[in-house]
Amino acid sequence: HVLRHPNLWLKMPKRIFKALGLKFHPVLKIKKEILSLLRNKSRKNNNYHNPKRVLVYVIYSNGKKLQEYKLIFLEALARLSHKIVIVVNGSLVLEDQKILEGFGEVILRPNEGYDTAAFRQGILELEKTVLSQYDELLLVNDTNVGPFMDLEITFREMAERKLDFWGISYGEPQEDFTGYNKYKTIPVHLQSYFLVIEKSMFTYPGFI
């Protein structure tokens, strides 16, 4: 029967998937394979084992003396980074501004748009000049206390996974309190306070 009707061969995968209770989407499967090939090709440009890192560190300050833990964490990050841009949401006392300038470029901005807008401003400043010269982009804010272990160990372990980006922790799913998500829920996601983005991602035209 199948030999007399060869078009049945084309329907067979779909029928098998249906019998197993699975969905068969040949177009999506082909698209996935193509995107996987492109992704793997772009990852070949990543330097996972001896990366040159640039850090955008976001601080909130209301004009009072900076808390010491923010500087302690920045010092730990500085040991991993080749260039640092510090974006301050708010205002600084002159003494703290001079301390931060010892780490890198300091950008003062109004406290608008939270850390995401501050990260964006830092990235745009780098993109104008030197971003493409680096292998990894670190986006970190000052809500971290620590570190309580050598961050270099974490970076080495994550390098073995050869990812496009990674973070320290996941945020749990919850109802969308912003009102912007059309699905009315916020899914499990990497939290924005500590993200590491590889060159394959931040040089992608759609990133900025």
CA separation for the pair 50, 24 (Å, rounded): 42
Assessment of whether the complete model's pTM goes beyond 0.85: no
CB 40 within 8 A of CB 68: no
Structural domain includes residue 120: yes
Nearest to 146 by CA among 41, 70, 32: 70
Structural domain includes residue 207: no
pLDDT in tens, 163-207: 999 999 988 888 888 788 888 888 888 999 999 999 989 988 888
pLDDT in tens, 39-79: 777 777 788 889 999 999 999 998 889 999 999 999 999 99
Amino acid identity at 48: Y
Domain with 12, as residue range(s), is 7-43
User: Residues 39, 109: one domain?
Assistant: no
User: Residues 28, 127: one domain?
Assistant: no
User: Residues 66, 145: one domain?
Assistant: yes
Structural domain includes residue 208: no
Amino acid identity at 123: I
| Beta-strand relationship, 174-175 and 185-186 | antiparallel
Q: How many domains does the chain have?
A: 2
User: Residues 82, 112: one domain?
Assistant: yes
Class of residue 158 by CB neighbours under 10 A (exposed 0-12, middle 13-18, buried 19+): middle
CA separation for the pair 194, 37 (Å, rounded): 28
CA separation for the pair 172, 186 (Å, rounded): 8
User: Residues 62, 122: one domain?
Assistant: yes
Q: What CATH number does the domain containing 155 carry? A: 3.90.550.10
Sequence-distant (6+) residues with CB within 8 A of 47 are 135, 136, 199
